[in-house]
Amino acid sequence: MQMDIRLDGLTKTFTSKDRTETIAVNNLSVTIPSGHLVGLLGPSGCGKSTTLFLLAGLHAPTSGKIYFGDEDVTMLPPEKRGIGLVFQNYALYPHMTVYENIAFPLRNSKSFKEKHPAAAERREEIDRIVKNTARIVAIEELLDRKPSQLSGGQQQRVAIARAIAKQPKVLLLDEPLSNLDARLRIQTREEIRRIQQATGITTVFVTHDQEEALSITDEIIVMKDGIVQQVAEPQETYVHPANVFVAQFLGNPPINMIDADIRGGKVIINGEEAFDTSLADGSYKVGIRPESFILASDGGFEATIDFKATVGRDFQVRFDMNGKYSEALIESDNRIEVGDKVRFVPKMSGVHIFSADGNRIEEW
């Protein structure tokens, strides 16, 4: 089913009892293409959940419009929007079996009853859908169990099955993996991607975890203080962050942000002419990804290694540039010790230059 989602100037303002206003979502305009899995990413309080609640019809917007395909759904109640919702806490019915949990919303759906008025036919159709959905989310052998007899990951798959059984036009997931341990989180996120691709349902996935968003989405919408910072493919947000906030939010260890002057076509780092640029003289912010430092015998800039840890195949080192610290990931076949004075030349693909007020400068 083709179903793109279009948000047009969507704004939600909350007014508290003492009349202070919070603009939770501020003039959000974005189109989510049909069949895509889109991540809503940002720190706590940036307006992700509010956006999802607006999409679900659980909040009414202060202004702006929401379209599912050509239909303006802004004022439609949740049950008329054709959405499937999955929250962080799975909210399964504890006294029902997995089978019953998936079947329940169908049994209670007025439109489903209208479509299948004969009770026997309805029962058969529900049975077919439950089994088919269970197959898609790989829980066929768990249908007779109660939720308490399932692991967290299995419970979350049941919640997803319940949400997609009604064949929603749009699937909305609010931090669906937060309650799972690290290993299960990775497994389940891959599972979500697989299920989403198998069903082709346009899906919006709220997360504060940049790695999660980078790994399974088609596009990421990065938000801060209710305002969209960037909408782009995951790789694009990493290699072309629109501003300092996006650059710092994506990547682990985080990007190093260095205040640097440019003088006479040279970027000055730690008092040295570290590399060339075509930008005009002035003060800039230079972001360098930790994996983008190369040890060299000349060029670049000098720094003193202050801390070293082994992280998988790499050394994670912190280095001191006259009291300012940055971090680098260096392949562990390099001999490098705390106290060493080394020279780093940045790889240009990992260098991002921003204006002093934090916006990306494209040509440099």
Q: How many CB atoms lie within 10 A of CB 212?
A: 21
Structure token pair of residue 103: 């079947």
Q: Which parts of 247-306 interact with ligand ATP (CB under 6 A)?
A: none
Q: Assess 148 for contact with ligand ATP (CB under 6 A).
A: no
Q: Assess 47 for contact with ligand ATP (CB under 6 A).
A: yes
Structure token pair of residue 1: 């089913």
* Best CA proximity match to 53, nearest among 61, 43, 45, 62: 61
3-state secondary structure of 270: coil
Q: Which of 4, 30, 35, 45 binds ligand ATP (CB under 6 A)?
A: 45
In this complex, which beta carbon is closest to ligand ATP, that of residue 22 or of residue 34? 22
How far apart are CB 47 and ligand ATP at their closest, in Å? 4
Q: Assess 179 for contact with ligand ATP (CB under 6 A).
A: no
In this complex, which beta carbon is closest to ligand ATP, that of residue 154 or of residue 230? 230
Q: Which of 44, 108, 148, 297 binds ligand ATP (CB under 6 A)?
A: 44
Q: With 0-12 CB in 10 A as exposed, 13-18 as middle and 19+ as buried, what is 343?
A: middle
Q: Assess 50 for contact with ligand ATP (CB under 6 A).
A: yes
Q: Which stretch binds ligand ATP (CB under 6 A): 38-46, 139-147, 238-246, 303-311?
A: 38-46
3-state secondary structure of 84: strand
Amino acid code (one letter) for 105: P
In this complex, which beta carbon is closest to ligand ATP, that of residue 116 or of residue 208? 208
Angle between helices 98-107 and 152-165 (to 10 degrees): 20
Residue recorded with tokens 């940036």: 46
Structure token pair of residue 347: 């790889």
Angle between helices 119-136 and 98-107 (to 10 degrees): 130
* Best CA proximity match to 195, nearest among 339, 84, 90: 84
Q: Which stretch binds ligand ATP (CB under 6 A): 41-49, 94-102, 111-119, 297-305?
A: 41-49
Q: Which parts of 186-225 interact with ligand ATP (CB under 6 A)?
A: 208
Structure token pair of residue 324: 């300012």
Do the Cβ atoms of 265 and 231 come closer than 8 Å? no
Q: Assess 24 for contact with ligand ATP (CB under 6 A).
A: yes
Q: Which stretch binds ligand ATP (CB under 6 A): 14-22, 180-188, 318-326, 344-352?
A: 14-22
CA distance 314 to 318: 13
Q: Assess 22 for contact with ligand ATP (CB under 6 A).
A: yes
Contacts of residue 337, Cβ cutoff 8 Å, sequence gap at least 6: 305, 308
In this complex, which beta carbon is closest to ligand ATP, that of residue 213 or of residue 351? 213
In this complex, which beta carbon is closest to ligand ATP, that of residue 22 or of residue 167? 22
Site string for ligand ATP, 323-352 (x = CB under 6 A): ------------------------------
How far apart are CB 60 and ligand ATP at their closest, in Å? 12
Chain positions contacting ligand ATP, by CB under 6 A: 14, 16, 22, 24, 42, 44-50, 208
